[in-house]
Amino acid sequence: MITGSQPVETAVSDFFNVATQAAEQAFQFWDKVAARETSETDPAASVFADLKDTIQTFSEKLAEHPEVSLGKQILLQQKLMALYQKTTLRFLGQQTEPVAQPDEADRRFKDAEWNDNIVYDYIKQFYLIVSQFMLDLPKGIDGLSEHNIQQLDFFTRQFVNAYSPTNFPMTNPEVVRKTLETGGANLLEGMQRLTKDYEGSYGGLNVSMTDMSAFKVGTNVATTEGKVVYQNDLIQLIQYTPTTEKTFKTPLLVIPPFINKYYILDLREKNSFLKWLVDQGHTVFCISWVNPGPSLRDKGFENYMHEGPLAAIDVIEKITGEKQVNAIGYCLGGTLLATTLGYLKAKNDTRIKSATCMATLIDFRDPGEIGVFINETAIKALERQMNTLGYYDGRMMAFSFNMLRENDLFWSFFINNYLKGERPQAFDLLFWNSDGTNLPARMHSFYLRNMYLYNKLREPDGISLDGVGINLSKVDTPMYFVSTAQDHIAKWKTTYDGARLFKGDVRFVLGGSGHIAGIVNPPAANKYGYWTNTKLVADADAWYQNADKHEGSWWLDWQEWVKPKAGEQVAVRKPGDGPFKPLMDAPGDFVGKKIADVIHA
């Protein structure tokens, strides 16, 4: 740390020594990057090969219509000239209006120096003008497919955001100040953090988002009281301890996604969906999925159905004596629930009394920006990789999903951790987000091909499980769909199309916010609101235009919907009362297994 009492020579010498160490760390880091094996069969290489074809198509179409790019180039030059003139006037002491300003939601340029300092203001505006030109260039070009447009938009955005001046130490005023204050120690600390994070990554750079040491599953997250009452290769089934004097007769099964751990629904008591369900008088069971390693490579989607919800329903019947359950599925857990409904319908099995799908894709026609990674070439390369490993590494998935919101979920942490050299703050949601899981090779291949790539789940008998064709149009189970307006993973209009595939009574509700916050939205917070419309018309926009807006949480609406299906009030069922004796306390030990634990087991 440089202080005013230090001799200048000492300060300069210390700074030089720290800078030298940081440079050595940087060279060591790039040596590690260069040493990492890559090949043309890597999924990332396949994605970029597909992008190369898109760029070639775009270049050809652009050459056919030079007037489109010419008009945009003229506008670019006009804006740059105006920026130069106004910057010159500012140097002469005159006040001017900016040529370009960041969007209100863009937090990258919040530091006052970006406006007050003429040089930084010029850099900022120059960047905004040029990046907007690049993002606008593909617009208005005829002859491009939807996939072409999506790829160009996604990768252009990745490029312009990667080259933001905020991401470089010499053009970020906050980093410059930090470097001067610490004598460069922030850069040395940052390089050490970067090297450590890269060594723990797979298929990309998984930046540390939170202080992982600040949380422990079962201690300060996933703390709702209960017992693990059943276990097989894929699940531990948790039965939660009742908190009411009576409980609804029909038990409730919660099926979380198996691409993440279940405790997003049980982070803290004040926002725990599972605790809230228990407090409403439900007998709640929740699946905790295994974090699979190489030994589970041959588990398929049908295994997840049989050893997941179907096995859980069997156990719940033996514990409670009830032949039916109300079921909730979240994200991929909802996709599995819908598929299970189709399977049970084909067998005339009515054990699921009602079904709730939260932020669930069933019709995959528009999976959002994740679609840029979905094509035959990339999936084949990924299958070759999975066949070698036996699983799809959850760290690769986390990197892909984080790049869908790159400024918030990647570059902000890149700046904080590696340029400022600061420790990430403790945040339970980001702890969960960083606690990923793998997926078995066979299951993930089936899921990608049959749902994301070919969208077969929506087709009658489009997919079969154990020789049973899945036809969702025959499912007449009462269903509740809730999606969120800003969801970038399960876009609400696409989930709406999925809701319309079913034959029975379907209620669709649109919540505010995104994939996580809009679902985990406790009533006490009184946030976001939700929209309802009892008519499930053909067009999602028409549904929304005639929907009623309500304040608060959709949880209350769901509770009113499920009450008639939950049955009368009966004596509470405590874990261990039935034939299945507790194996261990909740949250169990499946949820504590990290990726590193299972891939080296």
Catalytic residues: 331
Residue 456 has a CB neighbour count (10 Å cut-off) of: 15
Element (H, E) at 341: helix 332-346
Torsion of CA 435, 326, 500, 470, to 10 degrees: 80
Whole-angstrom Cα distance, residue 444 to residue 390?
Answer: 10
3-state secondary structure of 226: strand
Distance of CA 29 to the CA centre of its chain: 28
**Tally: H helices and E strands in the chain:** 22, 17
Burial level of 425, CB count in 10 A (0-12/13-18/19+)?
exposed
Q: Which residue has the tokens 């028409």?
A: 542
Element (H, E) at 581: none
Paired tokens of 140: 């208005």
Q: For residue 528, what is the DSSP state?
A: S
- Crossing angle of helices 173-182 and 185-199, in 10° steps, is 110
> Which of 172, 155, 220 lies closest to 426, judged by CA?
220
Bridge-based pairing state of the strands 252-255 and 325-330: parallel
Cβ(270)–Cβ(524) below 8 Å? yes
DSSP one-letter string for 467-509: TEE--GGG--S-EEEEEETT-SSS-HHHHHHHHTT-SS-EEEE
φ/ψ of residue 516, rounded to 5: -100, -60
Sign of torsion over alpha carbons 136, 141, 146, 151: negative
Cβ(378)–Cβ(372) below 8 Å? no
> Which of 547, 596, 585 lies closest to 218, judged by CA?
585
Is the bond leading into 242 cis (omega within 30 degrees of zero)? Answer: no
Distance of CA 510 to the CA centre of its chain: 19
Cβ(324)–Cβ(352) below 8 Å? yes
Residue 29 has a CB neighbour count (10 Å cut-off) of: 18
> Which of 333, 261, 324, 265 lies closest to 301, judged by CA?
333
Torsion of CA 401, 404, 407, 409, to 10 degrees: -20
Widest distance between CA atoms in the chain: 85
Residue 97 has a CB neighbour count (10 Å cut-off) of: 7
Whole-angstrom Cα distance, residue 122 to residue 87?
Answer: 7
Paired tokens of 322: 């009830």
φ/ψ of residue 585, rounded to 5: -70, 150
